[in-house]
């Protein structure tokens, strides 16, 4: 088995890369800055995994997959800058809110500057970009709210990214699994760094380059209409289920220990994704067509 083996490149490499980068940044930066920027390991792991399989061209990005990888790297770098300069959570939340919008606009080839300058009539602008991006931004805002609640944010992002990646495997498009599965593995590596007790905060590099990117992936999938919207909504519903699942896990005698709680939470949050995958594979005729950008 080599590094380009699908299981190694997609699952094992992101886990190890996240752990190594997070530990290195923590050791070099110390308990303050180092701990806050340690989540930069998540976008780094995604870039490394995609570079191994299916591969990244050295030229500027052209495909949707390449553009999303660049957005992950840019989000991680922006998050590091925010943590090292301002340490202001509002700024990171503001940047993360607009990340899905930027992803949809860039991957769809929409020239916003032409609208602003008047070169393209305003009535020709695809306004459903704003609908999809606004909903995605609000979901990112929810992730920001739970960023400091144990491991709830990374567990939720891991489940969402994994669900989107699995949908990409069974229904397409290819960029969904190429981004979603290694991103989920990178989040698993981050959770491993903080298991059984949380040691590092889910800082801005991970919030923008990991969490916001996962929601941006969902927004791109919806806007490009390559996958039924209902299935994407089912995967994203894990975030709506998270408060109830967290309370249930914390109050259950079997699952309330620090070691078991994140595992149980992930299992519960993954249920909607499991339903979406079952529908996509075995009952596609039952999936309603409720929204088409």
User: Is the CB of residue 40 less than 8 Å from the CB of residue 205?
Assistant: yes
Enter the DSSP assignment of 181: H
Looking at residue 227, its pLDDT comes to 86
Helix (H, G, I), strand (E, B) or coil at 121: coil
Looking at residue 48, its pLDDT comes to 96
pTM of structure: 0.95
Q: With DSSP H G I counted as helix, E B as strand and the rest as coil, what are the percentages for the chain, rounded to 5?
A: 75, 0, 25
Residue 283 neighbours by CB under 8 Å, 6+ apart: none
Looking at residue 183, its pLDDT comes to 98
pLDDT tens-place values along the chain, 293 residues long: 677 788 898 999 999 999 999 999 999 999 999 999 999 999 999 999 999 988 898 888 999 999 999 999 999 999 999 999 987 889 999 999 999 999 999 999 887 776 666 676 655 667 788 899 999 999 999 999 999 999 999 999 999 999 999 999 998 889 999 999 999 999 999 999 999 889 999 999 999 999 999 999 999 999 987 788 999 999 999 999 999 999 999 999 899 899 999 999 999 999 999 999 999 999 999 998 877 66
Q: Pick from 179, 143, 159, 142: which is nearest to 277 by CA?
A: 159
Looking at residue 291, its pLDDT comes to 73
The full length of the chain comes to: 293
Looking at residue 7, its pLDDT comes to 87
Looking at residue 290, its pLDDT comes to 78
> How many CB atoms are located within 10 Å of the residue 28 CB?
10
Report domain extents, the chain. Answer: 6-286
Helix (H, G, I), strand (E, B) or coil at 252: coil
Residue with tokens 């110390």: 30
Letter string b/e over residues 187-196, b meaning 16 or more CB atoms within 10 A of that residue's CB: bbbbbebbbe
């Amino acid at each position: 088995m080599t590094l380009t083996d699908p299981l190694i490149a997609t699952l094992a490499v992101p886990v190890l890369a996240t752990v190594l980068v997070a530990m290195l940044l923590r050791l070099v930066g110390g308990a303050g800055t180092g701990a806050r920027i340690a989540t930069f390991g998540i976008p780094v792991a995604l870039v490394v995994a995609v570079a191994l399989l299916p591969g990244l061209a050295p030229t500027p990005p052209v495909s949707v997959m390449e553009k999303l990888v660049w957005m992950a790297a840019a989000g991680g770098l922006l998050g590091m800058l925010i943590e090292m300069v301002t340490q202001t959570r509002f700024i990171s939340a503001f940047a993360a809110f607009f990340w899905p919008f930027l992803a949809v606009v860039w991957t769809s080839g929409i020239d916003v500057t032409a609208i602003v300058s008047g070169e393209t009539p305003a009535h020709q602008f695809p306004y459903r970009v704003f609908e999809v991006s606004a909903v995605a931004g609000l979901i990112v805002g929810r992730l920001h709210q739970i960023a400091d609640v144990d491991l709830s944010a990374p567990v939720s992002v891991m489940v969402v990214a994994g669900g989107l990646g699995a949908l990409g495997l069974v229904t397409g498009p290819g960029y969904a699994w190429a981004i979603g599965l290694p991103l989920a593995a990178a989040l698993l590596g981050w959770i491993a760094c903080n298991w059984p007790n949380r040691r590092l905060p889910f800082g801005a590099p991970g919030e923008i380059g990991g969490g916001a990117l996962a929601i941006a992936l969902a927004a791109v999938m919806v806007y490009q209409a390559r996958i039924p919207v209902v299935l994407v909504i089912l995967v994203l519903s894990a975030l709506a289920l998270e408060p109830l699942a967290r309370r249930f896990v914390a109050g259950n005698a079997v699952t309330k220990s620090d070691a078991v709680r994140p595992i149980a939470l992930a299992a519960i949050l993954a249920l909607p994704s499991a339903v979406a995958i079952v529908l996509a594979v075995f009952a596609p005729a039952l999936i309603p067509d409720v929204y088409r950008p």
